[in-house]
Amino acid sequence: MPRSLDVKVIAHHSEAPASSPVSALMSILAQAGYEIDVLHLVQHAVESGRDSQAVTYLEGRIGDRVIWGVGVDTSVLTASFNALIAVVNRSRHGAAVETRASVVSDGIEARHF
């Protein structure tokens, strides 16, 4: 199944057999040298209603680095894509912060070490 990945002004076309769009994007990123192991992923709506934005918090590992990414969009799928891309961008710019998070009843509690 063909997938397209557009990053800023650079367009990259790749095909990745996968069980879901997120898995396909992860395969495409791995082909580009960014193999992400997803350690934690939490999603929630910002508020109630059909037009509410979704937030995806993703803790991923690229090599020996643990990096958090956050994605926001009205689409849960696009928010997930944005979180994956945020992990890649942070890995490229050396902005990794070692963080551990735990889910609490009304949101996310993150602790920086």
pLDDT of residue 20: 83
Number of other CB atoms surrounding residue 106 within 10 Å? 7
Which pTM value belongs to this model?
Answer: 0.69
pLDDT tens digits in sequence order for the chain, 113 residues long: 455 555 554 455 666 677 788 888 888 888 888 999 999 999 999 998 888 999 999 999 999 999 999 999 998 988 998 999 999 988 887 654 443 333 333 344 433 33
CATH of 2-112, one of 3.40.50.300, 3.50.50.60, 1.10.3720.10, 3.30.160.270: 3.30.160.270
Q: HEC profile for the chain?
A: CEEEEEECCEEEEEECCCCCHHHHHHHHHHHCCCCCEEEEEEEEECCCCCCCCEEEEEEEEECCEEEEEEEEECCHHHHHHHHHHHHHHHHHCCCCCCEEEEEECCEEEEEEC
Ranges of each domain in the chain: 2-112
pLDDT of residue 106: 39
pLDDT of residue 71: 92
